[in-house]
Structure 1
Amino acid sequence: MSQEIKNYKVYKMSLTTLSPVFIGSGEELNKSMYVYNDKEIMIIDEKKLIKELLLRKGLYESFLNECSSGDLNLTNFLEKNLNGYKDIDIYKYKITSYSDIKTGGKFNNINTFIKSSNGKPYIPGSSIKGAIRTAIIANEIYHNKEKYINFFENKNYPKNFNGKFAKTPIDNLKELENIALKNIFSKYKSIFNKNDKIEVLPNILFKFLYVSDSNEVNLDNLFIGKQHDFSTKGNKLNELPIFMELIKPETKFNFSISIDKSIIDYFDIKNIIKNLRNYFRQYFYCVEEINLLFFKNNVEIQYKPFCQLEGLTSNALIGGHNGYLTKNILYSICCELEKENNTVVGMANKEEIINLIKYHLNTKFKKHKHLEDSIISPRTLKLTKYNETLFNIGICNIKVEEELC
């Protein structure tokens, strides 16, 4: 860098979940690590459990024998051997499940939500920053479609639905993202030295944007949800044996964003919020057009994509298990939004772009056979049940609370 940058704009921010949110810790709870009690999952504290078992003659040895078999079902073991186990202090925390954790009589593993060293859930700054990065790239592409459509044309992609398809797939659209990043970076390259490494410069812009981890929230803001997939092929709603700890809707987190003043004209906080909102609309209104009619026509299914809270608009897609297309820029090339109410009014170069998306999805997910799709489609909408209602996963509001300096 030409000099050390010391001046920042710092903002106090909030993130409010408008639907269930999942950010994985990379760990799972198996049937030997929790107790299932009707709609309550009780996560065991191993040290407290062992201490309790040692108080009862022969029980610890029986426990070790079942552990060594590799098939310990803790719920069954405690039901047989420890009277009143539900009320004994041997648990780290208890959490409500809105779905039966058993499939065919077998207990499923549970993917856990990321937690701090204090054992409480929080939102990592990297998850928020990743959403901002995707939104910035997507809006660059959305507002300059002519540059990026040419990119596809130069790749020799298919020309019609039933024509021949190119042999070389695009690798997860990373090349397109890199081109967009270079175009964004070109506005700011004058602040860098010639000695800086050119190959990392497009991404280096995001080093000027600092996003803190959020505060912790109490464990009672978690619940256990099961993944439900709605497929546009055949209009089917399927339940999968995938269980997660999710943050409840209407949970508020606080965090901070610090922006280097040298690029404040592009990473201005108002632009960040605008980019997030626009990217969410690019994705969601295309999904709504394709999917939501199914739920409107099936009144027995209680469904809403997200909660409507006064003063909070849905503007961000956070975390995992919410669908492949919530993390990339495909729809940014496709959709056209009506300026007044931000609804989708059409698709730019629809037929050509449908082919591009179909081809991309088919090369990335070969077993899914997307080539027969007749519409632009996420193919699968990821949902979970909370309080008897199906919600989309990962929809949030990010908001500026206060400029600190």
Structure 2
Amino acid sequence: MTTGLLCRSYELTCISPIHTGSGGKLKPFEYLYNSETHEAAFLNPTKWIAFLDQRGLMERFSNYVVKGAGGTDNLRTWLLAQGVTEDELESLIIRRAHADPLDTDGDKATLNEIICQTTLADGRPYIPGSSIKGALRTGILHGLIRRRPQLFRGRLQEFHTLLKNKKKRDIDFLIGQIETQLLHTLKREQKTPPWNATVSAMRGLRVSDAACPADETDSVILRKLDFTTGMEDGACENRLSLFRESIPAGRRLRFTITVDPAMLRTLGIRSIDEIVGMVHAYTADGLRLQEKVFGRQYPALFAAAKNADALLGGGTGFLSKTLVYALADNDKEARDFIVDYLDQTFTEWDPITRQRVPAHQHRAFDRAISPRTLKLARMDSEDWIMGLCSITEVGNAQTL
């Protein structure tokens, strides 16, 4: 296809904190934590190793790690005890993160292990373009299914039959067939199989990374917080000892979307605005499902979510990624499939029956919605639904 590319600039605003994991984790002896200010400071790895060597602390640090750094010791306190000054520590810091003082076990010396946010070499947090494109892709699939529901009627029941026959792998194959049917719309050579990526119209959609401004490298550290309903002992909030570094609410990041209009037209999509509208509709559908169940406990959170275009990153939950509700004829059909799917996916060994059983009992407890959990973020007594963002065009479109 020979048509020119169209490039537009966008601003992504974090309505709530967003976490995109880098794959890295920091143990308590790998970051500085001030339990009085509830601030964590992350070290420049190159400067940190050089500093230990220059100060003759390499061996003592190794002994500290082996003998004492099990989650209760504090690296900052240990360094100060070795005669290191606050000014010296300052020169080693690449960025800082604020932790919620009400959600860090009081005056505990550390935050345990921290799952790191994706960052650039200069320490700036960013959201990978692949994460944004993944959300757009799901929105496109949702929109295309909604446009022609008659083509997919009965497919979810087909999935459910496979699930009951313990053929979960076949479900993934059929989902792949649906995605091929919807997205692999480019002209192909006779010998090219339809599932080949070269005939996917998604080749015509490119998304850059979304980076924070140069002077906004700070982040926040959030403890995993779930609100769960449908349990035997009633609804409750669950705080788990899992800490994620995240981009804070209110942060604005810039990125670009570049499209090949001719490729997108094979999907029936005429503009980038149409794509953003699709992901907005997908996000709104998921939020409406959750609001029916959780809206009474958190009305302000769902009111704030009305302007959201997408859910991004980790900690957003199953409903931010699934197309089951789009394929279902009604919400009950979707719920019935999901509870069985999750119960088969997450199992544990029962020593009494001597067999694997559902670990979370979705069939028993997911009565109103499945999964039965709302993923939350909390900072300084303010709550959000995790991962919400808006996407707004800025500047003028360019033809490349």
Q: Sort the Cα spacing of 1:31 and 1:102 in 2 relative to 1 into closer, same or farther, 3 A.
A: farther
Runs (5+) with no aligned partner, structure 2: 347-357
- Offset of residue 115 of structure 1: 1.1
Displacement after TM superposition at 1:252 (Å): 1.3
- Which residue does 2:314 correspond to in 1? 320
Match of 1:206 among 195, 202, 206: 202
Identity of aligned residues (%): 25
Structure 1 residue 12 displacement after superposition: 1.5
Stretch of structure 1 that moved more, 69-78 or 272-281: 69-78
Task: Show the counterpart of 1:278.
Answer: 281
* Secondary structure at 2:307 match in 1: coil
Distance 1:172 1:226 in 2: 36
Return the offset for 1:80. Answer: 2.7
Match 1:133 to one of 123, 134, 137: 137
> Which residue of the other structure, out of 74, 79, 93, is the alignment partner of 1:91?
93
Is structure 2 residue 26 aligned with structure 1 residue 33?
no
Instruction: Return the match for 1:232 from 212, 216, 229.
Output: 229
Match of 1:363 in 2: 344
Change (3 A) 1:200 1:84: same
- Per-residue CA deviation, residues 62-93 of structure 1 (Å, 9 max, x unaligned), is 33432344737413412433364377433222
Matches within 5 A, 1:6-405: 7-37=4-34, 38=36, 39-46=38-45, 48-49=47-48, 61-69=59-67, 71=69, 73=73, 74-82=75-83, 84-85=85-86, 88-89=89-90, 90-99=92-101, 100-101=103-104, 107-155=111-159, 157=161, 166-171=164-169, 174-185=172-183, 188-189=185-186, 191-200=187-196, 204-217=200-213, 218-233=215-230, 234-265=234-265, 266-267=268-269, 268-295=271-298, 304-305=301-302, 307=304, 313-334=307-328, 348-365=329-346, 366-372=358-364, 373-401=366-394, 402-405=396-399
CA drift of 1:321 comes to 1.2
Q: Are residues 259 and 173 of structure 1, via their aligned partners in 2, closer, same or farther at CA, if it must alter by over 3 Å?
A: farther
Check conservation: 1:314, 1:395, Cα contact below 8 A: yes
* Deviation per residue, 1:25-59 (Å, 9 max, x gap): 00011111112112111223455456656676x75
| Cα pair distance change 1:70/1:110, threshold 3 Å | same
One-letter code aligned to 2:336:
N
Please give the alpha-carbon distance, in whole angstroms, between the structure 2 residues aligned to 1:125 and 1:55.
39
TM-score, normalised to structure 1's length? Answer: 0.81
Question: Number of residues paired by the alignment?
Answer: 371
Q: Distance in 2 between matches of 1:325 and 1:350?
A: 13
Indicate conservation of the 8 Å contact 2:15/2:389, yes or no. yes
String of CA shifts for 1:197-246, please: whole Å, max 9, x gaps.
Answer: 32225972211111112234345441111110111223110111111111
Distance (Å, rounded) in 2 between the aligned partners of 1:238 and 1:79: 35
Q: Distance in 2 between matches of 1:68 and 1:156?
A: 51
Amino acid at match of 1:75: R
Give the CA deviation at 1:276.
0.9
Shift of 1:143: 3.3
Counterpart of 1:249 in 2: which secondary structure? coil
Which runs of 5 or more structure 1 residues have no equivalent in the other structure? Answer: 159-164, 297-302, 335-347
> RMSD between aligned alpha carbons?
3.0
Instruction: Check whether the contact 1:232–1:377 (CA below 8 A) recurs between aligned residues.
Output: no
Equivalent residue letter for 2:255: F
- Structure 1's 65 and 198: CA in aligned 2 closer, same or farther, altered over 3 A? same
Q: 1:283 Cα shift?
A: 0.6
Q: Relative to structure 1, is the Cα distance of residues 45 and 277 closer, same or farther in structure 2, using a 3 angstrom cutoff?
A: closer
One-letter amino acid of the counterpart of residue 261, structure 1: P
SS in 1 for 2:42: strand
CA shift, 1:148, in A, is 2.7
C-alpha separation between the residues in 2 aligned to 1:34 and 1:144?
52
Aligned residue type for 2:374: L
Query: Could you tell me the TM-score, scaled by structure 2's length?
Result: 0.82
Shift of 1:353: 3.5
In the alignment, the residues of structure 2 paired with residue 70 and residue 6 of structure 1 have an alpha-carbon distance, to the nearest angstrom, of 63
